Amino acid sequence: MEPIALSNNEQTAVNPKGYLFSNRDLLRLFLPLTVEQGLEFLVGIISSVMVAFVGEAAVSGVSLVESVMALLISLFAALATGGAVIAGQYLGSKQRREARESAQQMFWFVSIISIVIMIAVYAAKSFILFNLFGQISDEVRRNADTYLVFVSLSIPFLAAYNAGAAIFRTTGNAIISMKIALLMNFINVAGSAMLLYGFHMGTEGVAIATLISRIIAAAIILVVVVNPDYSLHIQRSLKHKFDWRMIKQILSIGIPYGLENSLFFIGRIIVLSLVSTLGTAAITANAIGGSLAVFEVLPGVAINLGFTAIIARCVGAGDYEQAKYYTKKIMAIVYASQLVFISLILALLPLIMKVYGLSEATAELTRQLAWWHGVIAIILWPFAYTLPVTFRAAGDAKYPMAIGIMAMFLCRVVLAYLLGAHFHMGVFGTWIAMFSDWGFRFILFTYRYFNGKWMRYRVI
């Protein structure tokens, strides 16, 4: 099964103007990714609703742990992105053997790093619960401890699934990971419901269901990714020799992106430590508002995953005009799709608040956060988060890293404490700080794109 629109014959048949990807190709890539990401985030919301059955302390405990998990997962997700960029550039330059080798190197490297991360989490468990989360109630800490113990075991399995999914996305085949995600999330939801409502297990029920679903997803994608019928696959062998030249190429993208992501989530955790001092209502509103916010930008998050492969292929082919063409086209797609999603979320907000069964004060604060996030995201989010994908996929990973780190700490962290604590604006002040972060990125990424410096980069 060859990558879509890879050969010259395919380009001529599907794209008369010589473009690497037709509209059909983009649809086949972006639609499954949107479904996959939508399922992932929907399950997150459903799980938080289920945990709310146990109590607001359980919701708070789970949300605190998930913030740490997001930080750790971002590390191997960045490495998977680095592998996708390298493999994509090799495919664009018609070097298929090198593309397959880079995919194999990435899969093994990500898998090993994820095991190291899992061990580190268990070693630092006390620090996470008693220092990192700040001043939280004993009940919230107990729920966080229970959830952390089980979910940390799933890190290597989630890493393997994400690495395999990145390999298939590189060839434009997102349907495989979507099907596996369907099964994984069904198991997660069904298992959580059974353990919570049937066996009354509480927070541990959701954690166990999450662990089992990720183990199954990793096992399935491992079976698929060793299939030689696919153009990018890994060898069916436990023996592996690292090619440090390729690892260095992968790390040239993965390290800056991973550092950017890590510091981004560290900044979020720092802000979360401030929110945790504002009371359970603020923690809960911030957690649920954050879940709704993710749904509001869901199309952009999903499209960004496939966008990386598209730009990498263009750069690998040495065709920067097509890279610019697809950047403009996909930015327009992100704006249009997010407008639809944000409008839908805001229209359903009254019903969503009833489903959560929150107190009046918590529900009102959550509504305020969701509305402000939706309005600002329509304007700023694509330029802040989709445009830099072009830079990374071209090999210009250090610039978005530098801007992302500056935006996080100068805008989001400093302003969060200034507005939230000093000016007593509470959790809403921390969200205003986030919007200023987006504005900062908007300005500098737009400047970078139009000055054209990102076109001087190529990794292979």
pLDDT, tens only, 313-368: 999 999 999 999 999 999 999 999 999 999 999 999 888 888 877 788 888 889 99
The residues, ordered by sequence, that sit 6+ positions from 5 with a Cβ below 8 Å of its Cβ are 11, 14, 15, 20, 21, 22, 25, 172
- How far CA 161 is from CA of 106, 138, 155, 164, 177, in Å, comes to 12, 34, 10, 5, 8
- At 420 the pLDDT is 80
- At 17 the pLDDT is 61
- How far CA 265 is from CA of 3, 177, 321, in Å, comes to 34, 25, 34
Residues 125 and 114: beta-carbon distance below 8 Å: no
Burial group, residue 297, by CB count within 10 angstroms (0-12, 13-18, 19+)? buried
Q: How far apart are CA 409 and CA 85, in angstroms?
A: 27
Residues 290 and 377: beta-carbon distance below 8 Å: no
Q: How far apart are CA 15 and CA 7, in angstroms?
A: 11
- At 6 the pLDDT is 37
Q: What does the chain come to in residues? A: 460
Longest Cα–Cα distance of the chain, Å, equals 65
Rg (CA), the chain: 21
> Does pTM top 0.85 for this prediction?
no
Q: How far apart are CA 134 and CA 341, in angstroms?
A: 34
- At 7 the pLDDT is 35
- At 269 the pLDDT is 76
For the chain, residues with pLDDT lower than 50 are: 1-14, 16
